[in-house]
Amino acid sequence: MFPIVVGFTILIMLVGVIGCLIPVVPGNVLIGLSVVGFAWWNNFEQIGILVTVLLVLVSLVGATSDIWMPMLGAKSTGASGKAILGGIAGATIGFILGAFVLGIGALIGSLVGYFLGIFAVEYGRVKDTWQAAKAGIGGVVGWGITTVVQFLTGLGVFVAFIWLLLPG
């Protein structure tokens, strides 16, 4: 039974690692839940409680980075809180239009919508095209960095999990 559970856990974690690169798949959540599920199933023998908590915390950093990193990117270029909310609304609309109407795909639609949402709100606030564009670009760059953070945290937890299972 042990090899089956390990194999299933690794499979779910691999889906999570790949999911870190796909915006709508909660990759780090799958990875964190896999760690907890395996550790609990194994009575925390192979992976202790402290290590499980640490791996879950790393997964949470990755899982929540799509919330706080784009905000940092947009904020670093002067975007207001309202502009960030505009970006989130724009990303949602862009996701829907990109996936179902325009044929450009959900990811591209989300990115364009995020930029345009920040741009529109910032332009309405400061009446400066360059400042609004800079804020939008900062938000999109933050989003790109988020994807890297999500992937690296997911991959790191996956590698640590495998390492902990190796004999010796």
Inter-residue long-range contacts of 50-54, CB under 8 Å, 24+ positions, other chains counted: 51/164
Cα 28 off chain centre by:
7
- Count of domains for the chain: 1
pLDDT tens digits along 72-103: 766 777 778 788 889 889 988 998 898 888 77
Sequence-distant (≥ 6) Cβ neighbours of residue 124 within 8 angstroms: none
Q: Is the pLDDT assigned to residue 71 strictly greater than 90?
A: no
For residue range 33-69, list pLDDT tens digits in order: 999 999 999 999 999 999 999 999 999 999 998 777 7
Q: State percent of the chain over pLDDT 70.
A: 95
Q: 101: exposed, middle or buried (C-beta count within 10 Å: 0-12, 13-18, 19+)?
A: exposed
Domain, as residue range, for 45: 2-165
- The HSE-up count of residue 64 (CA atoms within 13 Å, CB side) is 7
